[in-house]
Structure 1
């Protein structure tokens, strides 16, 4: 597995368009999350390792019109690499399904443990301290303000994460724990969610407004 991980990491480093939230450290964290979850479900596998390192092979910008197709395109792009690495057809199918189903925007339901583990592992990286850092890094790259100065926590307006960084929290991030597919994923997600709730309370205090209890 060590040799395979090295080969997959090299593929990602060469072929994946990297940004602050989708880079080699992200892939390493997702693989570590996979290992933790899989340890409670019978152990890791070659398809799980491959899916962890190739799931963002086609990394489209968050504001790209075809962003929802990124996971399917990544799955397609992974096939030739998996074939070159000697994966049999059944392992290729297992890997590519997991890649296609990991995306929040794609809306594809995971049908295997490999797909369920990868999806939870990837979403865990959008939560907690690292999730906070990634969310603001992405929004900063898109030149979006941190929050709406008149209504930071969208109390009297609809949250719009195409306009404000903080609005991405109720639109997506704070909803992720409810859709975890594994028991271990749910447990870790709740711990990381608590970190985000503390941040929101501290942020509200620092900007002189009430904590967003409707988000917590």
Structure 2
């Protein structure tokens, strides 16, 4: 598996458009988390390894109009690489389904353990300490403010994550634990969401506001 991992990593390094949230380090983290989850479900497989390293082969910006198609395009782009690596037709089908179904915006339901593990592992990378860093890296790339300086926790305005980075947390990220498809994924997600809420408590103290609404605190 180690030789295959290095080959897949080389493919991603060469072919994937990388940004601060989707780079080789992201792929390494997803694989590490996927292995953790897979240990509770029978162990990691070649399709899971390949899906972890090729799932962002087509990486479109968050604000791209065809963003929802990125995972399907990644699955298509992965297919010739999998054939060249000697994957069977069944392994290719398992890998490409997992890639296509991992995306939040694609709306494709995972129907295999490989797909469920990849989706959980990828979403878990949006939580915890790395999730905090990614939030603000993406907001910087999109030239969005960290928060609304007059109402950072949206006490008197609608949440809008196209305007403020922090609004993305209650709208999506802090809801991710409820979307996990594996027991181990849910456990990790709850721990990482707690890390983010601790950060919110510290942030609130530093900027003189209180995140009173339940969407921030529970």
Answer whether TM exceeds 0.5 for this pair.
yes
The answer to whether 1:205 aligns with 2:205 is: yes
- C-alpha contact (below 8 Å) 1:201/1:212 kept by paired residues: no
CA distance in 2, matches of 1:158, 1:211: 14
CA distance in 2, matches of 1:110, 1:159: 29
State the match for 2:33 in structure 1: 33
The answer to whether 1:18 aligns with 2:3 is: no
Alpha carbons of 1:212 and 1:74: their partners in 2 closer, same or farther (altered >3 Å)?
Answer: farther
Q: If the length of structure 2 is used for normalisation, what is the TM-score?
A: 0.97
- C-alpha contact (below 8 Å) 1:8/1:50 kept by paired residues: yes
CA distance in 2, matches of 1:15, 1:153: 39
- C-alpha contact (below 8 Å) 2:155/2:213 kept by paired residues: no
Q: Which runs of 5+ in 2 are unaligned?
A: none
State the match for 1:5 in structure 2: 5
CA distance in 2, matches of 1:67, 1:93: 22
CA distance in 2, matches of 1:211, 1:167: 12
**Distance apart, 1:93 and its partner CA:** 0.4
State the match for 1:146 in structure 2: 146
**Distance apart, 1:210 and its partner CA:** 1.1
CA distance in 2, matches of 1:157, 1:80: 48
Q: If the length of structure 1 is used for normalisation, what is the TM-score?
A: 0.98
CA distance in 2, matches of 1:46, 1:82: 10
- C-alpha contact (below 8 Å) 1:200/1:212 kept by paired residues: no
Partner-residue secondary structure (3-state), 2:109:
coil
State the match for 1:181 in structure 2: 181
**Distance apart, 1:211 and its partner CA:** 2.5
State the match for 2:114 in structure 1: 114
Partner-residue secondary structure (3-state), 2:211:
coil
CA RMSD of aligned residues (A): 0.8
CA distance in 2, matches of 1:58, 1:156: 39
The answer to whether 1:46 aligns with 2:52 is: no
State the match for 1:101 in structure 2: 101
Q: Which runs of 5+ in 1 are unaligned?
A: none
Moved over 4 A (4+): none
CA distance in 2, matches of 1:208, 1:150: 11
